[in-house]
Amino acid sequence: MEKIFEEIVHIMNNDYAGWKDKKGCDNPTYFLQKIRGLQDKDQLTKEVFKGIVGDYLLDFNDHHMQFNVAGLHNDKPKVLGFRVRRFEDCLYVTHVDSESRLEPGMCFVSVGGQSIPELRERHHRLLNENHTERENWTPILSLYDEGEVENSEGVRRTIFLAHYEKQPYKPTYSVQQLRGDAILITMTDFANPDAIAKMITENQAILNSTERWIIDVRVNYGGSDSSYYPLLPYLMPEEGAELADKDEKMLINCTVASTNRILEELKDQLENTKDEQAQFFLKVIQREWTENKGKGFVEFDFSEIMQNSFIKGRRNPESIVVLADFMCGSSGDSFVETVKKSNKVTVVGRATMGLNDYANLATQKWDEGFEFMYPTSRLSRIDVGRGMTGIGIEPHLNIPWTPEHLNVDIDMESALKVLSSTSILISEFDTI
């Protein structure tokens, strides 16, 4: 584990796309001494090591990194079984899967005997957000054994926090008919270009004929930008829109190590992707990495892809609302930023996660079951103070999150008002 930590430090100071911007921000000696001390006491488990690496990475202030460890909890990942969101001095339960003692709308008023403001102060490094509704409390709750919960009637009780086997993630790519002349498209990631292409093909008739769309990417775990390209002709205006930003550059840190890691991943993606357009994009990216191997920061030649950056759209749909939120990141960020260039689109909700200042992840794997994902690209907007870290891609119509969202889909109601279809009831969906 000591050797693996030293390799991670090397990656962060050589291969990571932000190493120049954040040079000297980390303190590897402190964490290395911590690892050695625990190792001497035979207390350095994989779980403890994962926490130390995570703590080290916090100093880079980049949520677009992941350090995963297989073999924890008997090879079955464990989770709390619920999610929360802070509003004022409480943590409101927003989603429940395995934790049957809780339900959405309940709130934690204290955890581990500490109030939520006290916890906020104690764990400010872990939260590290500029707005309450953007805070991720899951890592903090995982550190404690119990919490005091209040139900909708104001009754409080203490529950001991349990960990459950993580439920398998099932992506959603769906088209639903709203009552009237609108449809709802939901995409929870852009990781499967074939599935999204299939969704478009199977629903082509209604996509071509429906004048009003709502696209829900409030939860979108990213993937590949190429996955949403088939939707762009629908989303852009008839007269067209220029998607390329001439003032924006993306520099890729093409170290030898990153190139080898990326090429291996691209090989797997090409073997598992059938969509021709997605295949074309992947092959261009594969060529650029190969030709620039070992050259450091390079601007890739995407002229073959971007020669059609001026996209002409269709008459239908005439009006589109995109629902966004903090749980939309990476390619989700890119999607929201792209559709904002269309005058047919209104983005409603809250700012996205804002991961793409440093993006295009490479993965280093070790035989011991450790896996580290880190960004290899850097946007030039950082140099002029227009970075999205901690800010995200902001909506046209911002709707602050409140506990009322747990009772009524306020975002959807606002979307329907924007589309001038207030008679449509959001509770009456018919799946196509």
pLDDT confidence tier of residue 244, bands split at 50, 70 and 90: confident
Same domain flag for 388 and 294:
yes
Same domain flag for 237 and 120:
no
The residue from 10, 38, 69 where one domain ends is 69
Query: For residue 30, what are the domain limits?
Result: 2-69
* C-alpha triplet 32, 38, 42: angle, nearest 5°: 140
Over residues 226-238, mean pLDDT: 93
User: How far is it, in rounded angstroms, from Cα 80 to Cα 85?
Assistant: 14
Same domain flag for 297 and 371:
yes
Instruction: Tell me the backbone φ, ψ of residue 203, rounded to 5 degrees.
Output: -115, 20
List of E strands, 164-303: 164-165, 173-178, 182-187, 212-216, 219-220, 241-242, 250-254, 296-299
Q: Are strands 156-160 and 78-79 parallel, antiparallel or unpaired?
A: unpaired
Same domain flag for 249 and 317:
yes
Same domain flag for 302 and 396:
yes
- The predicted-structure confidence for 181-190, as pLDDT tens digits, reads as follows 899 999 999 9
pLDDT at residue 432, rounded to an integer:
36
Lowest-confidence segment of 22-26, 87-91, 270-274 by average pLDDT: 270-274
Handedness of CA 303, 19, 133, 67 (dihedral sign): positive
User: How far is it, in rounded angstroms, from Cα 173 to Cα 189?
Assistant: 8
Same domain flag for 8 and 150:
no
Same domain flag for 278 and 177:
yes
Over residues 373-383, mean pLDDT: 95
Name which of 125, 128, 157, 378 is nearest 251 in CA terms. 378
The residue from 20, 35, 69 where one domain ends is 69
Same domain flag for 250 and 179:
yes
Name which of 56, 59, 87, 179 is nearest 401 in CA terms. 87
CATH number, domain containing residue 274 = 3.90.226.10
The residue from 165, 196, 214 where one domain ends is 165
- The predicted-structure confidence for 34-76, as pLDDT tens digits, reads as follows 999 998 888 889 889 999 999 999 999 999 999 998 755 445 6
Full-prediction pTM beyond 0.85? yes
Same domain flag for 6 and 94:
no
Same domain flag for 59 and 89:
no
Q: What total of structural domains would you count in the chain? A: 3
Residue 272, pLDDT above cutoff 70: yes
- The predicted-structure confidence for 307-360, as pLDDT tens digits, reads as follows 677 888 898 899 999 999 999 999 999 999 999 999 999 999 999 999 999 999
